[in-house]
Amino acid sequence: MAVANLDHVAEGATLAAMIADETFRVEVLCEPEDLFGSSQHLALRRAIGALTERGDAVDALTVAHEAQTIGLGGAMDVVRRLPPASGKYLTVLANARLRRKAQEIGRMLLASGPSPEADLGEAAEMAVAALAGAQQKVVSAGDAGAEAFRRAKAGAPRLVRTGLQDLDESLQLVGPGDLVILGARPSVGKTAAAVQVARHAAAAGKGVLFCSLEMAPEAISLRLVAQEARVPFVGLASNQLEVDGWEKAGRALQAISRLPLSIADAGGASPSQLRAAATKFKAKLARVGVPFGLVVVDYLQIVTPPRPDRNRDREIAAISSALKSMAKSLDVVVLGLSQLNRSPEGRQDKRPALSDLRESGAIEQDADSVLLLHRPQKRENAAEIIVAKQRNGPTGAVRALWNGPTMAFGGDPEFAVPWPETQLE
C-alpha cells in the first residue's frame, strides 16, 4: 500500500476510534489539529472537537451533522466510509505530519532560491523554526518527574566545570537544555575561561564543540595546550619555551588530542549554521558512543543575526533566543560568551551587573545562568566570578586567581602569576 494511502487509512481508523472511545478522543484532541492531512478528515476532527467542547454527544450521526454544518459536503458518506476503529496509529500520523512539514519547508526554500534578492539565511532560519515547532511534545507532569528522578539518582553529570571547586558546586545543577552566558568587558578573560570550561567538560568524557567566531582554531588549541601544560602561552606561540616547557607542551597536546573536543572555525556564522555544525558533531559523537555535553559560542555579539534588523536589540534577542532553542533541541549546555557595556567602568568598584549585558535585555531573559568575570586590576592576579543569575541554584561571587602566562583561572595561591606588561590578553 502506498504511503499516502496508508496515512489516509490510519487517519480514518483514528477518527473512528475517537467517535467510539471517549478517553482516546480526549487524548487525540490534545494533539495538533494538523495531525490529519486529509481535508475531509480534518473537518471530522474539528467537528468532534466542537461537540466535545460543548459537552454534546459524539456519535456517527452528530459528527456528520456537525461536519456538514462547518462546510463538509457529504459528511455522512465520509463517516460511513471510515475504516474499523483503531487507536494504534498515532505514531503513524505523527510521522506523516512531520513528512508534510518537511515538504512544506522544502517548498519554502525552493521558493526563496530563484530570486537574487532572496534572503536564504532567513528562509533557512524559518525552516528550522518550523520543523522544531512541528516536533514539540507535551509530557505529563508525572512522566517529567520520573525522568528527573532517574537523572538525579543516576548522578547528574556536571556539564559546566571550571576547576574552581566553589564555583563548580554552585553550578552543579546546570544541565542539558540550559543556556549559560559568560559576560565580561574586553581583555578580562572570557575566552580563557571558556577554554577552561571546555577542557574540563571534555576531560569528564562529554563531547564539546567550541565555536570560535573571532579566533582561529589554532589559537584556541594553543590556549588549551598552555592551560593543560601550565606553560606560558606567548612562549608557546612564539617558539620561546625552554626544553622542559616543550616536553610539557608535547604531553599536553597528546592528552588534548584524546579528548572528545572539536573546534569550529565559525567566523560569520548564523545561529542556523551553528546549529547545523552542532547537529553534525552530535551525530559523529553518537557513532563512537560519546555523549554530547557542551557547545561554546565565542562570542554572541558577532554571531550573524538570523535576519538583518535596524534595531540591534532585536538582532541580539533573536540570536540569544536561537542559542537557547539549540540547547533545548540538542539536549546540551550552550555556553555563550557576551560583551558587557561600559557601565562598570563608571562605577567606583567597577563590578559588573546583569544590566551591563550589551545591547539586549533578552540575553538576561533567555539565559538560565549568567556568570560575570571581574578583575579589579587587570595587571594583577585577583579575580572574581559573579554568579549573577541562576534558575536552579544560588547566586553570589566566587574569588579566583588569574594566571596570566597560562591564561587560566585557579584557586590555589601558588597558581597565581600576574600578567606581564609585555603580554596581551
Looking at the chain, which residues constitute the CATH 3.40.50.300 domain(s)?
158-415
The sheet that has 408-410: what strands, in order across it?
Answer: 261-265, 207-212, 292-298, 333-339, 179-184, 369-374, 382-390, 396-403, 408-410
Query: Is cis: bond before 299, omega within 30 of 0?
Result: yes
- The phi and psi torsions of 49 (rounded to 5 degrees) equal -65, -40
For residue 414, the model assigns a pLDDT of 45
For residue 162, the model assigns a pLDDT of 67
Q: Specify the CATH superfamily of domain 1-137.
A: DNAb Helicase; Chain A (1.10.860.10)
Distances in Å between the Cα of 54 and the Cα atoms of 47, 51, 57, 262 are 11, 5, 9, 57
Cell, residue 108: 519554502
In 3D, which of 45, 36, 34, 40 has the Cα closest to residue 73?
Answer: 40
Rounded to whole angstroms, the Cα distance separating 116 from 132 reads: 27
The rounded average pLDDT for each run of 10 residues, N- to C-terminus, in the chain (425 residues) is: 67 91 81 84 90 85 90 89 87 82 68 52 54 53 58 54 72 82 84 88 88 86 85 80 82 86 84 81 85 88 80 82 86 88 70 72 81 77 82 80 80 48 39
Q: What is the DSSP letter of 423?
A: -
Rounded to whole angstroms, the Cα distance separating 185 from 425 reads: 12
For residue 424, the model assigns a pLDDT of 37
> CB within 8 A of 144, min separation 6: which ones?
none
Looking at the chain, which residues constitute the CATH 1.10.860.10 domain(s)?
1-137
pLDDT tens per residue across span 221-257: 888 888 888 888 888 877 887 888 888 888 888 888 8
Cell, residue 144: 517529567
Rounded to whole angstroms, the Cα distance separating 285 from 263 reads: 14
In 3D, which of 374, 385, 373, 383 has the Cα closest to residue 404?
Answer: 383
Q: How big, in percent rounded to 5, are the helix, strand and coil portions of the chain?
A: 50, 15, 35
In 3D, which of 201, 257, 251, 217 has the Cα closest to residue 231?
Answer: 251
For residue 403, the model assigns a pLDDT of 80
Residue 391's H or E segment, with its range, is: none
CATH 3.40.50.300, applies to 158-415: yes
For residue 380, the model assigns a pLDDT of 66
Rounded to whole angstroms, the Cα distance separating 332 from 318 reads: 19
CB 16 within 8 A of CB 84: yes
Q: What is the DSSP letter of 305?
A: P
Q: Please count the other Cβ atoms lying within 10 Å of the Cβ belonging to residue 131.
A: 15
CB 286 within 8 A of CB 228: no
For residue 321, the model assigns a pLDDT of 84
CB 384 within 8 A of CB 362: no
Q: Which residues pair with 389 in a beta bridge?
A: 370
For residue 61, the model assigns a pLDDT of 92
What are the helix (H) ranges across 135-183? Answer: 141-154, 165-170
For residue 297, the model assigns a pLDDT of 93
Give 249: exposed, middle or buried? Use CB within 10 Å, 0-12, 13-18, 19+: buried
Torsional class of 119: left (φ above 0), alpha (ψ -120 to 50), beta (otherwise): beta
For residue 87, the model assigns a pLDDT of 84
- The phi and psi torsions of 236 (rounded to 5 degrees) equal -65, -45
